[in-house]
Amino acid sequence: MPLNSAYAGKRYPPTAPYQVGREKIREFAAAIADDNPAYHDVAAARELGYPDVVAPPTFSFVLTMNAMTTAMFDPQIGLDYSRVVHGEQSFEIHRPIVAGDEVVVDATIEAIDGSGRHEFLTVRADVRTVAGEDLVTTRSILVSRGTGAAAGGAS
């Protein structure tokens, strides 16, 4: 089944507030084996001008996963998870996330393009503080393999 392109532009309500914890940042940095002191050591982060430890650039993907999942698996869009491949990912960082930030995320289906063999679903997620400060804009391109027009919109 091809994806329902009428849903391009649909924006989903923001997630419940999430507080970014110092230990979560440290755990994530350890999991990517990154010992940059700004991720682990409050004093080192403060020396750089931050109020607390800084999150690695790709950490915000963790924050966006719930909002993205809601958008991707909107039954109206008709995405089959077994066909999905993560095609591209981008981060536009307006202000680095630091421990103590309380954030909300909302996801938008930015585009659905299905002229080739595969269909491409672009999901944007906006990470903001609860006070409304923009932190990060992420874009994920998800590939729905073999459901495009050139593949005959295969079932």
Partner 1 sequence: MNPPGGTSIDPSSLAIGDIVAHAEFRVRRIDLVKYAGASGDFNPIHWNERTATSVGLPDVIAHGMFTMAQAGRAVTDWIGDPGRLEQFTVRFSSPVVVADDDSGAGVEVTVRVAELLDSGDRVRLDITAHSEGSEVLGHASAVARLR
Kindly state the smallest distance separating residue 134's Cβ from partner 1, in Å: 12
Toward partner 1, which CB reaches closer, 9 or 27? 27
Q: How far is the CB of 42 from partner 1 (least distance, A)?
A: 14
What stretch of H or E contains 136?
A: strand 134-144
CA–CA distances in Å: residue 10 to residues 20, 25, 111: 27, 31, 9
User: Residue 52: what residue type?
Assistant: D
Give the residue with the Cβ less far from partner 1, 62 or 151. Answer: 62
Parallel, antiparallel, or unpaired: how do β-strands 102-113 and 119-129 relate? Answer: antiparallel
Place of tokens 């109206």: 76
Query: Token pair for residue 8?
Result: 């391009």
User: Minimal distance in Å, beta carbon 71 to partner 1?
Assistant: 16
* Closer residue to partner 1 (CB): 19 or 36: 36
Look up residue 153 and give its two tokens: 């919109």
Shortest separation between residue 27's beta carbon and partner 1, angstroms: 5
Q: Which is nearer to partner 1, 10 or 37 (CB)?
A: 37
Amino acid at 22: R
CA 144 to chain centre: 18
The contact set with partner 1 (CB under 8 A) reads 27-28, 30-34, 36, 38-39, 47-50, 54, 56-58, 61-62, 65, 82, 85-93, 95-96
Cα angle 109-115-120, degrees, rounded to a multiple of 5: 35
Which C-beta is closer to partner 1: that of 4 or that of 139?
A: 139
